[in-house]
Amino acid sequence: MTIDIPRIEGTAAALLAQREHPRFAFYGRVSTEDQQDPVASRNWQLTRATGLIEPAGGILVTEFFDVGLSRSLPWKRRPHAARLLNALADSNRGFDAVVVGEPQRAFYGNQYSLTMPVFSHYGVGLWVPEVGGAIDPDSEAHDLIMSVFGGMSKGERTRVKVRVRTAMTSQAKIEGRFLGGRPPYGYRLADAGPHPNPGKAADGRRLHKLEPDPATAPVVRRIFAMYLANNGYFAIAEALTRDGIPCPSAADPARNPHRSGEGWAKSAVKNILSNPRYTGRQVWNKQRKDEVLLDVNDVALGYETRMRWNDRDSWVWSDTIAHPPLVTVNDFELVQTIMAASGRGRTGTRQRETRRHYMLRGLMICGLCGRKMQSHQAHETAYYRCRYPNEYALANHVQHPRNVYVAERDIVPALDNWLLKAFAPHRLTDTIRRLHAAQPHAGQPSTTAPEVAAANKIIAACDAKLLQYRAVADAGGDPATVAAWMAEVNAQRAAALAQREQATTQKQAPDRLTEDDIRRLVGTFDDLRNTLRDAHSKDKSTVYRELQLALTYNPGQNKISVEARPDADYYGVTVRVRGGT
């Protein structure tokens, strides 16, 4: 749609009229959620933008393009859009106006009404193809058109969500289709034929279904049997760990590189007993994504997505058996009845709201077991604790107190003091020198690479499976079947060995940064350092995460080892804290 362009008055029009070739900045956005090609999307948006400004003699001098971000995010929360807003305030910005390729991708809901006043304030024009040129901020027609495009953008996103959810509901209920994600412990993925969509089938896409895993399916049956024999979560976890049976994260280390896989946790046993998919029916919609306001006092900041549990009445069950069951329906329902009667099941599906903000949430690590410490509040004081014996079986003989805890108030002042001193202007030279010396030497193999750790986990899991298969063969199992299992596992083990060998011998340390390179990097810390001074807890928390801090608490010494890992480099220090157990 094109309309006549009203005569533009003011600074933006005057600047454009003074130049023979007006300078433009291009802004675009693409979301990769629906598998869009960022390169192709950028190209066609850029083509529309240049086609709009070329008749006026305009030239593009810079561009801002956000990739992989939802249109619902406000401009301040999109990295490149935020950079563009910041550039508007710079008198030496280098461009006179901004052109977008498609308004529905740039503006969502009321974002235009929140953004356009900033353009007008700094005298920067905004050009849109659907308007046929520059937007007149004083034109009611232009304001109405851009508001309509924002509403269309929001409506399009809502329609897509409704269509997708409706389609997935019918696929799970009527077809019993596996809708993706990791298979539950006890199952593995198997091929279910070509994709029913002809286009996807032509690209080689195939459907998958669940089939019992010969190594882990008997463990699931054992867990249900033990629970029905009056064994609790902890007793079951103890028995499985004592017998050397890998826990879910150890049995599938490739999907769980963030977990230690030391032993069976009570929560793992509980989740297995609560999973209805072991009855053979496909179950979908157990969780949902909710969009909640980031700040109820500042609606312009938009929403953030949170995963929440749905009520059981909202779960979608397949009408028929979709995959081989591991337990009978009667046994599963009996287990649920016992769990509910004893208070061991989930008493509610609504996630509790966090009563306070924890500045170091997710950053504290227990130095004894390597697990992340839980955020905890007691007597109006924030603590971080590790309750290892209450969560994991003790059969692995990990020496760990019943509770390890440390107060947040004993950490933050020492942490802030270190950050302020380490990156203070008068200490930058010494800090940069130490950062430079801490880098691995060029050509040095990186034996602690994540690839090596992942390969070692896979090898250990394969060894455990081979022992189980040999036990099955010794017990009189079918030799041909056992041989097929062992051949499959040996192939996985060989691949993991090759991966570890390649990572160990070929993974070299990256090129060492010079001191000048590091100086340019830490020069960006000025804003972070200033934020720490008299900042609110949420602002401090943002700084800690920007620096990628990792704090390891050693309770025996009452010390916390702190590592800051901005980008690929890190700089560590150890500080002493009061209290703790």
Q: Within this chain, do residues 122 and 19 fall inside the same structural domain, yes or no?
A: yes
Dist. CA 129–CA 575, nearest whole Å: 58
562 in a structural domain? yes
Same domain, 498 and 531: no
CATH (domain of 45): 3.40.50.1390
- By DSSP bridging, strand 374-378 and strand 381-386 are antiparallel
Same domain, residue pair 263 and 211: yes
DSSP-derived letter for residue 364 is E
> CB–CB of 497/473 below 8 Å?
no
pLDDT in tens, 51-83: 999 998 899 999 999 988 888 888 988 889 999
End of a domain among 295, 310, 342?
342
Q: Is residue 143 domain-shared with residue 89, that is, in the same domain?
A: yes
If asked whether residues 377 and 470 sit together in one domain, one would say: no
Residue 333 and residue 457 in one domain: no
In a domain, 295, yes or no: no
Supply 211's token pair.
């089939």
CA atoms within 13 A on the CB side of 4: 2
Residues 57 and 17 in one domain: yes
| 312 is a domain residue | no
Tokens 């997935």, residue located: 168
Domain of residue 87: give its range: 11-156
Which tens digits make up the pLDDT trace of 17-39?
A: 455 679 999 999 988 655 677 88
Structure tokens at 184: 């539950």
pLDDT tens digits, 303-361? 778 888 888 888 898 999 999 999 999 999 999 888 888 764 444 444 444 456 788 88
Picking from 37, 8, 9, 12, the residue whose alpha carbon sits closest to that of residue 22 is 12
CATH number at residue 231: 3.90.1750.20
Q: Rounded distance, CA 91 to CA 422, Å?
A: 34
Is 50 domain-assigned? Answer: yes
DSSP for residue 222: H
112, part of any domain: yes
With respect to residue 548, please indicate whether it lies within any of the assigned structural domains: yes
Q: What share of residues in the chain are helix, strand, coil (percent, to 5)?
A: 45, 15, 35
| Number of independent structural domains in the chain | 4
User: Which two three-digit tokens encode residue 486?
Assistant: 């062992």
Top pLDDT among 222 and 436 is at 222
Judgement on whether residues 60 and 118 belong to the same structural domain of the protein: yes
Whether 118 and 227 share a structural domain = no
Residues 75 and 141 in one domain: yes
Type of residue found at 240:
L
Residues 332 and 373 in one domain: no
The least confident of 29-33, 370-374, 449-453, 515-519 is 515-519
Q: For 438-479, how does the pLDDT look when each residue is reduced to its tens digit (9 = 90+)?
A: 555 554 444 445 667 777 878 877 787 777 777 767 766 667
Cβ–Cβ under 8 Å, residues 512 and 439? yes
Q: Is residue 171 part of a domain?
A: no
CA–CA separation, 31 vs 114, rounded Å? 21
Domain contains 125: yes
Provide the pLDDT confidence category of residue 573 given band limits of 50, 70 and 90: very low
Closest C-alpha among 193, 225, 197 to residue 206:
193
Amino acid at position 14, single letter: A
Dihedral class, residue 409 (left if φ above 0, else alpha if ψ from -120 to 50, else beta): alpha
Same domain, 101 and 152: yes
Residue 427 CA to residue 471 CA, distance in Å, equals 63
Question: Count of CB atoms within 10 A of residue 49's CB?
Answer: 26
Beta-ladder partners of 381: 378
The residues near 170 (Cβ < 8 Å, ≥ 6 apart) are: none
